[in-house]
Every structure is written in structure tokens, then in C-alpha cells.
């Protein structure tokens, strides 16, 4: 399952997001999240097979493009 959520402010700027590739067959940790990005807990970070690490955030659009490239390895 691919899950993408984004909340915009009144100017159309994404202020909150959650992007995830979920596959319980590949990852049983972190609610099945194989790869994910979000800005919960007041910082931008990446989920990868149960591990969480901060990221250098450029833009939401850039992050979606990066996510799409990364999941290609896991989806056929």
C-alpha cells in the first residue's frame, strides 16, 4: 500500500505530510512501513525498515519525487 497525505495552509503551502510505502511482508516493524517520510513531532524524518532518522528537507515536491524513486526497488 502506498499512502500519501498532505495538508496545505490557506496559501497552498504543504505544512504537514505523511508519505509511506507499507508492506507487512517486507517489514513487520513500524506498522509495516518499509519507506516513509513525515514531519510529525516537529521535524522532517525518514522511516526505513523500522529505523527513523532526520532528513534535510528541501521541499515537499522534492520529497515526493525522492520517495517515488526509492520505492521502485520494492514494487514490481
3-state secondary structure of 55: coil
The per-residue pLDDT for 56 is 96
pLDDT at 49 over 80: yes
Reading phi first (left if > 0) and then psi (alpha if -120 to 50, else beta), residue 12 is in: left
The per-residue pLDDT for 76 is 73
**What is the grid cell recorded at 42?**
516537529
pLDDT at 57 over 90: yes
The per-residue pLDDT for 1 is 95
Q: What is the pTM of this model?
A: 0.91
pLDDT in tens, 7-47: 999 999 999 999 999 999 999 999 999 999 999 999 999 99
Amino acid at each position: 500500500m502506498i499512502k500519501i497525505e498532505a495538508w496545505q495552509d490557506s496559501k497552498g503551502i504543504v505544512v504537514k505530510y505523511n508519505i509511506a510505502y507499507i508492506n507487512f511482508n517486507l517489514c513487520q516493524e513500524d506498522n509495516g512501513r518499509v519507506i516513509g517520510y513525515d514531519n510529525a513531532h516537529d521535524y522532517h524524518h525518514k522511516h526505513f525498515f523500522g529505523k527513523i532518522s532526520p532528513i534535510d528537507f528541501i521541499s515537499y515536491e522534492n520529497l515526493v519525487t525522492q520517495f517515488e524513486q526509492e520505492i521502485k526497488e520494492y514494487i514490481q
